[in-house]
Amino acid sequence: MTYWWLIAVIALLSYLLTASLRRYALAHSIIDIPIARSSHSVPTPRGGGVAIVVSFLLALPLVGWTQEVSFPTLMAVGGAGALIAIIGFMDDHGHIAARWRLLGHFCASAWALYWLGGLPELALFGLTVSSGWVGSVLAAFYLVWMLNLYNFMDGIDGIASIEAICACLGMCLLYALSGHTGLVLLPLILVMAVTGFLCWNFPPARIFMGDAGSGFLGIILGVFSIQAAWASSQLLWAWLILLGVFIVDATFTLIRRLVRGDRVYEAHRSHAYQFASRRYGSHLPVTLAVAGLNLFWLLPVAICVVMFGLDGAVGVIIAYVPLVALAVKFHAGELEKAHATQGSA
């Protein structure tokens, strides 16, 4: 039995919830006020990502009742996503010490991995690697990094939504082409939940996502990728390729800041996409460029991995090389003052 009508309902619900959250934020002064390290210049309501969370999670019981998705997968996705959303919501409305946030992140990751069965064997450079408990530990760190990098990359209008939509639609296409149609439904539900929110978040944004939404997207996309690995390790590599814009920018920036001795949890504007938005004077061209990179570069590479036998790890390297070049070009991880000084010299 199919319930594709549910897809349209989720998009509408997300749209209406976002509108309600915007009114609530305005009425209760839950506003993101621009500061020196902000990438926006107009006070804007925040917390709209809760609409994505609620719309997606409300769909899971129905999906489970119809047995379209297995119970362990629903527990992994729903439990981990809900916990991260709660932590993000609390942090949006107050402050949670970094160590407690991190503990919660690892708890959510451990929960997801328990229900998924850990990390399966992976094909790596032509070899089959059985990871065991070491792989599960690495997978936990991977999930924690995914949810945090998504939070870091949610810094300009529409970018986090566009990345999630492009990655999920790309994987839905690859699932269909490779015969793994049973994996399509959850990413498609997430696409519609994000699309309803994007109607309010597309540049110029009328509401921001907030930590509850960005962290939720990061952990859910990470869980989707590990779920896919159990069907085929090539599908995991495809997820890593399609999420490459965020992974490369966030990781390159983090490494550069760590080497310099910066406090990595301190707010900053040194990601490549932030430098790019200031260079072009607008968020829109950068957000559209992310969509273009996904459609015209990353998706073709992912198709080569899943459909034409390109080694997954090799595919990741091929996909990431131009992204690293872009990170260097747009000064990812550099000090903003130093960059400005160099530009005026």
Q: What per-residue string of b and e applies to 6-17 under the rule 16 or more CB within 10 Å gives b?
A: bbeebbebbbeb
Any known ligand binding at 151? yes
**DSSP collapsed to 3 states, the chain:** CCCCHHHHHHHHHHHHHHHHHHHHHHHCCCEECCCCCCCCCCCEECCCHHHHHHHHHHHHHHHHHCCCCCHHHHHHHHHHHHHHHHHHHHHHCCCCCHHHHHHHHHHHHHHHHHHHCCCCCEEECCEEECCHHHHHHHHHHHHHHHHHHHHHHCCCCCHHHHHHHHHHHHHHHHHHHHCCHHHCHHHHHHHHHHHHHHHHHCCCCCCCCHHHHHHHHHHHHHHHHHHHHHHCHHHHHHHHHHCHHHHHHHHHHHHHHHHHCCCCCCCCCCCHHHHHHHHHCCCHHHHHHHHHHHHHHHHHHHHHHHHCCCCHHHHHHHHHHHHHHHHHHCCCCCCHHHHHHHHHC
Q: How far apart are CA 277 and CA 270, in angstroms?
A: 11
In sequence order, the β-bridge partners of residue 32 are 44
Any known ligand binding at 148? no
In sequence order, the β-bridge partners of residue 60 are none
Structural contact between residues 204 and 157, judged by C-beta atoms closer than 8 angstroms: yes
Annotated binding residues for Mg(2+), as ranges? 151, 211
Annotated binding residues, as ranges? 151, 211
